[in-house]
Amino acid sequence: MPTQAIFVLGPAGSGKTSLVGGFGRWVAEEFNLSVSFVNLDPAVEHLPYSPDFDVRDFISVKDIMVKEGLGPNGAILRSMDMLAEMSEVIVKALKKLRSDIMFVDTPGQSELFVFRDSGPKLIKAFKRFSIPIALFLNESTLTHKVKEATITYLMSLIVRLRLDIPVLPVVSKSDLLSDTSTHNFPDELSTLSLKLRSEGEDLLSEFMNDLLTVVKHYAIPTRLVKVSVITREGFEDLYALIHEVFCACGDLT
Ligand SMILES: Nc1nc2c(ncn2[C@@H]2O[C@H](COP(=O)(O)OP(=O)(O)OP(=O)(O)O)[C@@H](O)[C@H]2O)c(=O)[nH]1
Ligand SMILES: [Mg+2]
């Protein structure tokens, strides 16, 4: 069986590192699987998991700032290009882990990983020894309205098209939602158009409605799953969705 590689992506602070640690540990506890942890964020200070591979052993954003006279943003950009150049070295090391499931923590600035060379190049290299998929996180407090949920679906779709792997949209930090927001949460893609109308009929709603047609056409058939690393809400649901995606990938190969 090839390794199942789960890349965790999302905007800065959306909970990627926490989910890799919390969900990864839960999967290791619940199932009889060998789970490994990969950190690809050269700028992270603290990790809530013990990485089996840590890109910081090879790339240091602080060193780049000093050696190349760059500011923090320039150094992070440079580190992403170095990540792309290192893809063969990384994959060679990861292949040796021979794990069933690999959780891959990605850089805080997901836009750099997705839109520069590093993400696509790494994913291409991962495909030689694993089946990679991605989770795209967005925070619950930014996702509980239909328009925001649509944006989360759209961003997941863009990541899917750019990285050429299945991407599941995931709502993080669900423990921060109020009871009302939890109750009315717009999770089913199929019912979003209907719910959109109840949020008012302005130009943005009209645009979102058109957007939903595109999203439904290109996105993998899924729903927004809500998870919390604190309460472990949604972990079973997320694992079931991931399993479905891997089964579909298996059928395609
Ligand atoms: N309430 C709540 N807070 C969370 C949860 N997951 C993460 N956080 C908090 O959100 C903040 C950011 O979490 P990280 O895991 O570092 O997020 P990240 O996306 O890896 O951040 P960057 O790599 O810096 O972009 C931290 O303060 C976490 O404690 C959650 O499920 N619930
Ligand atoms: Mg992080």
Mind listing the pLDDT tens digit for each residue in 133-151? 999 999 988 877 788 888 8
**One-letter amino acid for residue 83 of the chain:** L
13-36 average pLDDT score: 96
Is the pLDDT at 10 greater than 90? The verdict is yes
Return the CATH number of the domain spanning residue range 3-252. 3.40.50.300
Q: Which atom of ligand 1 is nearest to the CA of 18?
A: 15
Query: 221-242 burial string, b = 16+ CB within 10 Å, else e?
Result: ebbbbbbbbeeebbbeebbebb
**One-letter amino acid for residue 135 of the chain:** L
Is the pLDDT at 214 greater than 80? The verdict is yes
Cα dist. 210→57, 159, 206, 219 in Å? 46, 20, 6, 14
Say if CB 37 and CB 50 are below 8 A apart: yes
Say if CB 132 and CB 123 are below 8 A apart: yes
Residue nearest to atom 6 of ligand 1 (CA): 15
Q: How confident is the model at residue 238 (pLDDT cuts 50, 70, 90)?
A: very high
Q: How confident is the model at residue 249 (pLDDT cuts 50, 70, 90)?
A: low
Cα(18) to ligand 2 centroid in Å equals 7
Q: How far apart are CA 47 and CA 23, in angstroms?
A: 14
Q: Ligand nearest 13 Cα, by number?
A: 1
Residue nearest to atom 17 of ligand 1 (CA): 15
Cα(51) to ligand 1 centroid in Å equals 17
Mind listing the pLDDT tens digit for each residue in 149-169? 888 989 999 999 999 999 999
Q: Which atom of ligand 1 is nearest to the CA of 229?
A: 31
Cα(15) to ligand 2 centroid in Å equals 7
Pocket test residue of 7, 9, 18 for ligand 1, highest count of atoms within 8 A of CB? 18
Longest CA–CA span in the chain (Å) reads 55
pLDDT averaged over every residue in the chain: 90
198-218 average pLDDT score: 84
Mind listing the pLDDT tens digit for each residue in 49-93? 999 999 999 999 999 999 999 999 999 999 999 999 999 999 999
Cα(118) to ligand 2 centroid in Å equals 17
Is the pLDDT at 46 greater than 90? The verdict is yes
Q: How far apart are CA 164 and CA 114, in angstroms?
A: 11
pLDDT for position 252? 38
Q: How far apart are CA 98 and CA 112, in angstroms?
A: 28
Any atom of ligand 1 within 6 Å of the Cβ of 230: yes
Residue nearest to atom 32 of ligand 1 (CA): 173
Q: Which atom of ligand 1 is nearest to the CA of 48?
A: 15
Any atom of ligand 1 within 6 Å of the Cβ of 204: no
Q: How far apart are CA 235 and CA 227, in angstroms?
A: 6
Is the pLDDT at 186 greater than 80? The verdict is no
Residue nearest to atom 21 of ligand 1 (CA): 13
Which has the closest alpha carbon to 149: 178, 169, 175, 173?
169
> Of residues 224 and 227, which shows the higher confidence score?
227
Q: How far apart are CA 88 and CA 86, in angstroms?
A: 6
Is the pLDDT at 253 greater than 50? The verdict is no
Is the pLDDT at 251 greater than 50? The verdict is no
Any atom of ligand 1 within 6 Å of the Cβ of 14: yes
Query: Any alpha helices (H) in the chain, and if so which ranges?
Result: 16-30, 61-68, 72-85, 87-95, 110-115, 118-126, 146-163, 179-183, 192-198, 203-218, 235-252
Backbone angles phi, psi at 172, to 5 degrees: -95, 170
Query: CA 190, 191, 193: angle at the middle one, nearest 5?
Result: 100
